[in-house]
Structure 1
Amino acid sequence: MLEHEPVPADQVVAGSPSTGYVALDGWGAGEIGVWEMTPGAMRDVEVDEVFVVLSGAATVEFEHPHSSPIVLAPGSVVRLEAGMKTIWTVRETLRKVFIAR
């Protein structure tokens, strides 16, 4: 299990979510890592990232630019772009492996 910290109050939408993270490798401005979030909902501003969901269940809503929500489950592969404003609603602790820059 990853060490978790509470989500900052100004990002919490519902519940008391916490997140954990570990870097696996990095280069220049890029990074490969594992990220986890417990049940609840939070707002975030994304970086350029591709991720694969390893476990859990969640939905990502897009506030800006607006688009259809994505339902996440093990095996989901998603590409996010820097600056996207999202709301992550986690129903079952979500763990993903990501490549970001």
Structure 2
Amino acid sequence: MTVNVDAVALAIPLEPLPADQVVAGAPSTGFVELTDTIGVWEHTPGTSTDVEADEVFVVLSGSATLSFADPAREPVELRAGSIVQLTEGMHTVWTVHETLRKVYVAG
């Protein structure tokens, strides 16, 4: 299978996050699955919590601070070009300053 898509221009339907995940603001998120393991995800400005799956992602646009519930892990400043690996079960806080778009590979 070949994936050939303009991930920057891809239309992503966004929905408000559930209230129990919102820490600040009124962020919306959405994603488009390109295959079983590859997708494009977007998060508008605001702060939200999440529990992660195994994935590697590359930030295409925007900026955010990714913090972790584990105090041993330092926050990560995200911007276009950032590459991050997350492991299943990590508890994270996404503070999005400018709408963040990433391509992820899960699993």
**Is 1:14 aligned with 2:7?**
no
Q: Residue 20 of structure 1: CA displacement?
A: 1.1
Q: Which amino acid aligns with 2:63?
A: A
Of the three residues 14, 22, 29, the one matched with 1:4 is 14
Counterparts of 1:20 and 1:75, CA distance in 2: 20
- Structure 2 residues not aligned, in runs of 5+: 1-10
1:37, 1:90 within 8 Å by CA — same for their partners in 2?
yes
Matched residues, number: 97
Q: Where in structure 2 are the equivalents of 1:60-79 lying within 5 Å?
A: 60-64=66-70, 66-79=72-85
Q: Residue 65 of structure 1: CA displacement?
A: 6.1
Q: Where in structure 2 are the equivalents of 1:19-38 lying within 5 Å?
A: 19-26=29-36, 31-38=37-44
Counterparts of 1:34 and 1:64, CA distance in 2: 26
**Is 1:45 aligned with 2:25?**
no
- State the 4+ residue runs in structure 1 displaced beyond 3 angstroms: none
Please report the TM-score for the alignment, with normalisation by the length of structure 1.
0.93
Please report the TM-score for the alignment, with normalisation by the length of structure 2.
0.88
Counterparts of 1:35 and 1:95, CA distance in 2: 6
